[in-house]
Chains A and B, each alone.
Chain A
Amino acid sequence: MDPFATLGFPPKYDVDLRAVEKTHRELSRALHPDRYASAGASERRAALNKAADVNEAWRIVRDPVRRAEALFALAGVEVGETKEPKPDAELLMEVLEKREALADAKAARDAAKVHALADEMMKREQQVEAALAHAATFDASLVTKLGEMRFYRRFVDEASSILEQLE
């Protein structure tokens, strides 16, 4: 499934999420099974399948990592953590250090430090996003960006669950 085509948008990273959300809403209004409650079985099934596609497409497009994955897949580049080339050693080292710092901050119950680390990683993720937004094509040379983004994302998720525990 091409999530961009499903929602009627050109396949690029830099999308207007508000506009996509509005389209998703209009599509839901047209396709939601509630609208076909008294229709025949073939129509109910067709509506259910399309509504599911539209929801899935919106879930992909609004998520920065999934959106990038979809664009690589459309360009014929294999994605998925086991199929992508390993990120470079320098980045791995740095991520390892940051993770240790996060673990230390958690052990010290230092919420401010956890916040600061999460903010830093969030900024890094935004830089990757900006780079992808300017990419002309999604070829294999860019695919390491995906792994990088997943690192940041996982880090931020972990930080926020630590904050939940600390607060």
Chain B
Amino acid sequence: MLFEIFDPKAAPKPIGIDLGTTNSLVAYVRNEKPVAIADCNGEILLPSVVSYAHDDVVVGTPAARDAHEHPRETIVSVKRFMGRGADDPETRRLGPYEFDDTKMGESNVVRFRVHGKSLTPVEVSADILRELKTRAEDELGRVGSAVITVPAYFDDAQRQATKDAARLAGLDVLRLLNEPTAAALAYGLQSKQNGHFVVYDLGGGTFDVTVLLLEDGVFQVKSTGGDSQLGGDDMDRAIGSEVLEQLGWIAQDKAKPHSITKHPRLTPAVVRLVLDHARQMKHVLTAEAMVEAEVPLPDGGTRPVRITRARFDELITPLLERTGVASKRAMKDAGLGPAELDGVILVGGATRVPFVRAYVKKLFGKEPLADVDPDQVVALGAAVQADLLAGQGRADEVLLLDVIPLSLGIEVGGGVVDKILPRNTTIPTAARGSYTTQQDNQTGFEIHVVQGEREMVSDCRSLARFTLKGIPPMPSGLARLDVTFRVDADGILSVHAKETTTGLEQTVTVKPTYGLDDETVERMLTEALDFGEEDLTKRRIAEGRVEGQRIMLATQKSLGTDADLLEPGEHVAIQGAMRALDEACSGEDPRKIQSAIDDLDRATKAFAGRRMNRAIARAIGGRKVDDVDHEVEHAKGIEHAHDAPDLGR
């Protein structure tokens, strides 16, 4: 038997993580092929279940076993709680948990009450990510940065929560990648054909549908839609309700639809048990025409319950019809008819259900592709992307152009939304809206950022609120307020506002409506690591050194390729800043390292801009690399057109 020996000097391996509602998994690229990493028992899927019933946190299969005995201390499907407010009525519907009320001054996020401790979904997700990170380290030795997937339909708060969880788990996030895009990448379509593809992703808790155009190695998301509260769990719930009803645990009120009467002895443990049975029954029904299960009765004892494939198909039809509505809308947004489709990709364990496949085939008029395991396909795609981003793959062959899933806007008079960025806008992107004061001598301007398609603020989701203060008193309509929305390549929004008539400029920090602010995450990080001040400093030094080395290497490389773009004196200044950074890195003061990084950043700013203009000139002209003189000229000529206001920090 051969043992693999870790090379301590080997570069850390980038990883891809699918942080799923029901299951999570991690993958990496080995010999140019993505592979999923199994645990010591050979299991690839890690159930996304975390138990806090014991002294140590338990994640995965053992935690799933805990769910019966300790339903309140075992968090199942935490992804559904990500980015949700404590006051969201959906929150209470989602399980047998106890919640803490939001205290004054705290962010409005869900807090599970477990053994007298308060836990946010971000912390629970971080525990799952930590488990996956450990698994990857066992296999690879050193783990590098990670690409983590999110449903395309995830809103800003949910994306931010996912990033916070990664930070808490000690993972460096290369990119948040939309799950459907990851799936397309896993199929390696880029090397096979051009055309329009639909990714139909019915996961444990979310449904996503995405239309992609693939042309010459560029995956462009044309449209995306879905339902962040619909998935395989709902199938389990549909079967579960049927079972509970058959056994007399619950009764539907005929007069009032959706209202049910519960048996007094119905406990969360019984519900959990029935839901577990329901899940197994669903799996059996994927292959069999009928399934039977022994389920406890209210007055003791058990009775077998029988469900046929036909009844199951009937139960899930309303769920599938909801996916049909979202799919048709996505096709319409992309301006496509079914005849123009070149392929359909299935993602998510729930797409194993034969009735789902039949439905998809009917919906799109095409036999769907399913040759990559639908449970693994997303993580495999994330691994491919991580490999590309970390510079180990051939980055120029593939590019993903993603979009924002929901329109972003701000509240204007009368509770109406002014859309600044419509849904399906390609990211990264930036856009500005101009507003004015409504009252004379108004000195503050409240900005309310919302997300959604509807016209009224009350029908959209609130993302953030903040007030721009200190506007000098003047008659109404004279002040001019520019609000800039910027969405980065992870789909995360930042907002800046300034009053332009007086030159008053304020960059405002956005306090998220549903999420944790930076200080809270920072505090959690310190607590989670159980670090004293000293350890934290050591960690900061180590992180600063890695960052410093990386930047020096990148700068060296840029200087090597584009030395002709340097202005007189600039080279000397950059070299000086690099030497200073090098010195700071061998010292022990993390603040000095950071300030040396900032200095080098300033010294290279103009040069970086010129390099970007050269890249633009090449792309526009399609010129060859040797046509340098003309490019320098052109790079400077279009400097004006591209000198939009700097949106960076």
Contact = CB atoms under 8 A, between A and B. Distances in A.
Do the two chains bind? yes
Interface of A: 1-2, 5-8, 23, 25-35, 37-43, 45-56, 58-59, 160, 164
B648 A48 contact: yes
Nearest to B558: A43
A40 B608 contact: yes
A52 B218 contact: no
Interface in B461-498: 486, 488-489
A52 B616 CA distance: 13
23 contacts: A2-B641, A25-B215, A29-B218, A31-B612, A31-B615, A31-B619, A32-B399, A34-B389, A35-B396, A37-B174, A38-B550, A41-B597, A42-B604, A43-B554, A45-B648, A46-B605, A48-B489, A49-B430, A49-B644, A49-B647, A52-B428, A52-B486, A54-B616
B13 interface: no
A43 B608 contact: yes
Residue among B388, B428, B554, B618 with most chain A CB within 10 A: B428
Contacts of B431: 56
A33 B488 CA distance: 9
Given A38-B390, A55-B426, 11 more contacts: A30-B616, A31-B619, A33-B489, A37-B389, A39-B554, A43-B558, A43-B604, A43-B612, A46-B608, A49-B646, A55-B429
B489 A164 contact: no
A33 B492 CA distance: 14
A34 B176 CA distance: 11
A31 B389 CA distance: 14
Interface residues of B, number: 58
Contacts of A56: 429-431
Interface of B: 174-175, 215-216, 218, 220, 329, 332, 388-391, 395-396, 399-401, 425-431, 486, 488-489, 550-551, 554-555, 558, 597, 600-602, 604-605, 607-609, 611-612, 615-616, 618-622, 638, 641-642, 644, 646-649
Contacts of B609: 46
A34 B616 contact: no
Nearest to A28: B401
Interface of A is mostly: helix
Given A25-B218, A40-B551, A47-B612, A5 B604 contact: no
A48 B615 contact: no
A40 B551 CA distance: 5
A42 B426 contact: no
Given A6-B641, A55-B425, A55-B429, A34 B399 contact: yes
Nearest to B220: A25
A35 B609 CA distance: 15
A40 B620 contact: no
A34 B620 contact: no
A10 to B, nearest CB: 13
Contacts of A31: 612, 615-616, 619
A82 to B, nearest CB: 10
Contacts of A42: 601-602, 604-605, 607-608
Given A49-B648, A56-B431, A28 B486 contact: no
B601 A26 contact: no
Contacts of A49: 430, 644, 646-648
Contacts of A47: 612
Contacts of B649: 45
B620 A23 contact: yes
Given A40-B555, A42-B608, A55-B425, A50 B430 contact: no
Contact of B400 (A30, A34, A38, A55): A34
Given A32-B489, A48-B648, A53 B642 contact: yes
Nearest to A25: B218
